[in-house]
Amino acid sequence: MDKLKITETVLRDGHQSLIATRLRTDEILPILEKMDQVGYYALEVWGGATFDACIRFLDEDPWERLREIKKRVKNTKLQMLLRGQNLLGYRHYGDDIVEKFVEKSITNGIDIIRIFDALNDLRNIKVAAAATKKFGGHCQIAISYTISPVHTTEYYKKLAKDIDEMGADSIAIKDMAGILLPEYGYELIKAIKTVTNLPLELHTHATSGISEMLYQKAIEAGIDIIDTAISTFAGGTSQPATESIVRALKGTERDPGLNLTLLKEIAEYFKPIRKKYIDDGTLNPQALFTEPSILEYQLPGGMLSNLVSQLTAQKAANRYEEVLREIPKVREDLGFPPLVTPLSQMVGTQAVFNVLSGERYKMVPKEIKDFVKGLYGKSPAPMNAEIVHKIIGDEVPYTGRPADLLGPELETLKLEIGTLAKTDEDVLIYAMFPQIGKGYLENREKPKNIIQETKVQHINIVF
């Protein structure tokens, strides 16, 4: 078997999972030349949350960050995470925006685009995938991993085959909740490898305490690439630690061969930065604790903490167990969607409504209505017809590709934002996050001291 390849996540998922994506560009840049010498397969550096945090909290241009990273990383591929037709935002975009966003990501420095859809509806991925190929990027399509009666090995095999036929360059298994069990992971990887020869990558989170066991079995099954984070920002809700995995594999046939001296120096570099975020409360120790209960409930860790705060705000913390029991029922009613953004929030909110209002589906948020109407794509299994009728009455759900309902948007958005946008990249900042994106572009025009004041206001909102 070939040597194992490693994708380092500290600059995207690592700090997203542990410190709410708050690493600043000036904390990232000084270590990049060293990271570039380690022998990593790729550095994951960009995604929805990094883009959002740059403009919402850090007053930084996310495109500028990407360009500055690219200047310093010459040997290692740069990777980003893209939410299919949602791109980095929270709605479906017109195809022209998807194409432009992918083009600009690649011309500003991204090599590998990992594209996923919360429902594994490949119609929501195909335009972004085609654009990635068109502009010379590596198109990796990710399978959102979840557990349900319809998410069988056969289901995943068919999905992997369809992804291969779409022209992807590689496939990722995205275990966003950290619930893929080691033995089943082995079986799944072996099964997928019977239907495709594409390189296979595994992404998991250490939250439940089984991630290293999973990686061991995945390595035995022949996984090509795994995602890890440098130890300083590893463990808990982040990925397993890079150096630990590399040391454990030293001298074996899958030895990734990374430079351990440099890895140690990189880990040391991030220590004072981590200390700063522990001291100011950004790194909550809770994020580092092992949470085996997510294996029991099969819910992402973030969803559990969201539920607690949602219920506490409603003075209903005592209904927590009831809501936990309601979530799988809602999921079944809605055709077993994987619990990943935005479905995790939507299903969680519906379960809270069902419990607190005393009647199931008496109150239904707009997002759930849209989902039932087919506007997010196809649910993995048919929905409960009775519940569908209760939610949307006699309306017939849409079965086409959701973005076919949208026309071109780029020119309209350009007109709306006007001279505040100097480049297409600026227009895309506005497109992704209309309010805060516009606010960011306006702030940029103001003299420096006013920007400083605004920054302070941002921080007040955060804490």
Residues within the interface to Co ion (CB under 5 A)? 13
Closest CB to Co ion among 13 and 95? 13
Residue 163, φ and ψ in degrees, nearest 5: -65, -45
Residues listed for the chain: 463
Give me the sign of the Cα torsion angle 278, 282, 285, 290: negative
- CA–CA dist 425, 110 (Å, integer): 14
Q: How far is the CB of 238 from Co ion (least distance, A)?
A: 8
Write 190-193 long-range contacts (CB < 8 A, 24+): 190/221, 190/222, 191/153, 191/156, 191/157, 192/156, 192/157, 192/160, 193/221, 193/222
Q: How far is the CB of 176 from Co ion (least distance, A)?
A: 5
Q: Does residue 229 sit in helix, strand or coil?
A: strand
Q: How far is the CB of 138 from Co ion (least distance, A)?
A: 19
Residues 6+ apart with CB under 8 A from 260: 243, 246, 247, 250
Residue number closest to Co ion, CB atom: 13
Q: How far is the CB of 16 from Co ion (least distance, A)?
A: 8
- CA–CA dist 304, 302 (Å, integer): 5
Closest CB to Co ion among 13 and 111? 13
Q: How far is CA 400 from the centre of its chain?
A: 25
Closest CB to Co ion among 144 and 231? 144
Closest CB to Co ion among 103 and 201? 201
DSSP 239: P
Closest CB to Co ion among 13 and 121? 13
Residue corresponding to tokens 């990635």: 132
- What is the residue type of 255? D
Closest CB to Co ion among 196 and 207? 207
Residue 165, φ and ψ in degrees, nearest 5: -70, -20
Query: Which residues does residue 138 pair with via DSSP β-bridges, in sequence order?
Result: 112
Closest CB to Co ion among 13 and 333? 13
Q: How far is the CB of 376 from Co ion (least distance, A)?
A: 20
Closest CB to Co ion among 13 and 201? 13
Q: How far is CA 148 from the centre of its chain?
A: 21
Q: How far is the CB of 254 from Co ion (least distance, A)?
A: 22
User: Which residue spans within 56-169 are E strands per DSSP?
Assistant: 77-82, 112-115, 138-144
Tell me the CA distances in angstroms from 404 to 93, 96, 165, 401, 434, one per residue in order: 10, 12, 22, 6, 22
Q: How far is the CB of 202 from Co ion (least distance, A)?
A: 11
Q: How far is the CB of 114 from Co ion (least distance, A)?
A: 10
